[in-house]
Amino acid sequence: MAFALVDCESFYASCERVFRPDLKNIPIVVLSNNDGCVIARSTEAKKMGIAMGVPWFKVRELFLKQNGQVFSSNFTFYGDMSARVMNILEGFVPRVEIYSIDEAFLDLDSLKENYNLYDFGCHIRSIVRQWTGIPVRIGIAPNKTLSKIAINEIKRTNQPTSVMHLSTEKQIEEALKHTPVHKVWGVGRRLTNHLNNAGILTALDLANVSPRNIRKQFSVVLERTVRELKGERCLNLDDDISSKKQIVVSRSFGERVSDLKTLKPIVSNFAVRAAEKLRHEKRKCSQVSVFVRTSPFNQNKPQHSGIKTIELFTPTNDTRDILTATKKGLLPIFKSGYDYAKAGIILNKFSDETIRQQLLFKDPNSPKENTEFMRYIDKMNAYETQVYFASQNTKKWSPMKQNMTSPKYTTNWHQLPVVN
C-alpha cells in the first residue's frame, strides 16, 4: 500500500516568482481580498515572523523596510497554475485526488512493485519544477494520514530533496514522535486541548491509544485517524474527512455600498460564482441564503445585518435558478440608509446532480434546466469571464481593493510578459 501527497511549497508566493525570477530569495506576502490580511507567505517572510492572517497595516512598514514584495491575491493566475500542476500529476499515475488548490494525493499501489517510490517521487518533483516552475514537496507513506506526516517531516528536517518515503515501522515511529498532535490531519484546536488534557501530546501518543477507546471518548472519525497512524488504510482517494455541508461565496467591500442598485449586481456575481462551484462538484442544491451586513467595527454608523433563506422547489445547479432565488432573498433584507460592508451567498441541502426527482408538479418560475448550456458557459468563462448574465456586475466596478495584483500571465494574451 502506498499513497503520495504532493504539496506545492508556499504556492501563491511560488506562483508570483515563476515570471519574476528577480524575486528569488526575496520575502513575499500575498494579501486577501481588499488587501486586508496576509494569506500566504514565502519562506523568507515566515522567517521574518510575518504571521498568517495578520492585518497588512500592522506589518506593512516592517515588511517593506526589509525589501519585501507584496501582492494582491490573483486567484485567476493561481488557479491556472494549479491546474497545470495537477495535469502533470495525472500523467504519472492512474488515480489522483485533488485535495486543494495546492495539494493532491496520488495512488501509488500499482507502481510499488516496479519502481523505487522515493526515486519516483524525486522524478515527479523534477518534472513539475521544470514544466511549471513550482517547487513541490512529496510525502510517501502507506496511507493518506501518514503521507501528511511525511510532509511535516520534510519541513522539520529540511529534507534537501523535498521527498520523503516513510516505508518502515522505525521511520514511521520516528516521524510520529516528532509530530505534535495538533499537526495530525483532522485534529483541530478544540480536539487538541482535550487530547492534551488526556496526556496525548504527540502523534505517537495518539497512535498508541486503543482505537476502541478513542471511538468511545471522541468519534469514529478520530478512530480512523488512530488506525491510520498505526499503518492501516481507512481513507481511500476521494474520501473526505468531513463532507462539505455548504458553499459560501462572500466578500468584504473595499468601498461601502448603500444603494440597492449597486448592491444587486455585486450579489448576483456571488450567486453566479456559487453556481459554478456547485456544478464543478457535480451537485445540486435546494436552499439558497443571501446575507448583508454593515461593518461591526464602525460604531459611529448605524448597524444592520440580515439574512434570508429561499427554499427551492426542486434541487438545481442552474445559474438562472440561483439568481432568481438570490433576488428574492436580497429584497426583503436590504434597508436604505446603511453603509453595507459585506454580502454573500450560501448554498445548502445538496444532492448528486445525476439524481433526478420525478415530481407531479413543477415550479412555474423555474427555467427549463439545461445542463449542457451551463457547462458551455463554464468552459467559456474558465479563465476569464466572457459571458455575463444580465443581472451581473461587469468589470467596470469592483467591490474589492486590489491595488497590487500581478498580471494574469497564463490566461490573458494582453498580459503576457514582454522581453525587450
Domain range enclosing 328? 247-380
Say if 112 falls within a structural domain. Answer: yes
Question: Which pLDDT belongs to residue 132?
Answer: 96
Question: Which pLDDT belongs to residue 1?
Answer: 77
Asked whether 319 and 271 are in contact (CB, 8 A), the reply is: yes
Say if 184 falls within a structural domain. Answer: no
Last residue of a domain, one of 86, 111, 140: 140
Number of domains the chain contains: 2
Task: Assess whether 136 and 251 both reside in one domain.
Answer: no
Question: Which pLDDT belongs to residue 362?
Answer: 52
Say if 232 falls within a structural domain. Answer: no
* Helix, strand, coil percentages, rounded to 5, for the chain: 40, 20, 40
Last residue of a domain, one of 122, 140, 158: 140
Each residue's pLDDT expressed in tens, for the chain with a length of 420 residues: 799 999 999 999 999 999 999 999 999 999 987 788 999 999 999 999 999 999 999 999 999 999 999 999 888 889 889 989 999 999 898 889 988 889 999 999 888 777 899 999 999 999 999 999 999 999 999 999 999 999 999 999 999 999 999 999 999 999 999 999 999 998 888 889 989 988 999 999 999 999 888 898 888 989 999 999 999 998 887 744 445 568 888 887 877 889 999 899 999 989 998 998 888 888 889 999 999 998 877 778 888 888 999 998 888 888 889 999 999 999 999 999 999 988 999 998 888 777 665 444 555 555 555 667 777 777 767 666 666 676 666 554 455 556 688 888 887 778 888 777
**Sheet arrangement for strand 305-316:** 247-257, 340-352, 283-294, 305-316
Task: Assess whether 136 and 264 both reside in one domain.
Answer: no
Say if 216 falls within a structural domain. Answer: no
Say if 341 falls within a structural domain. Answer: yes
End-to-end CA distance of the chain: 52
Question: Which pLDDT belongs to residue 242?
Answer: 44
Question: Which pLDDT belongs to residue 388?
Answer: 67
Say if 414 falls within a structural domain. Answer: no
pTM above 0.95, yes or no: no
Say if 147 falls within a structural domain. Answer: no
Last residue of a domain, one of 90, 118, 140: 140
Question: Which pLDDT belongs to residue 384?
Answer: 61
Residue 56 cell numbers, joined? 497588512
CATH number at residue 318: 3.30.1490.100
- How, if at all, do strands 283-294 and 340-352 pair? antiparallel
Say if 59 falls within a structural domain. Answer: yes
CATH number at residue 108: 3.30.70.270
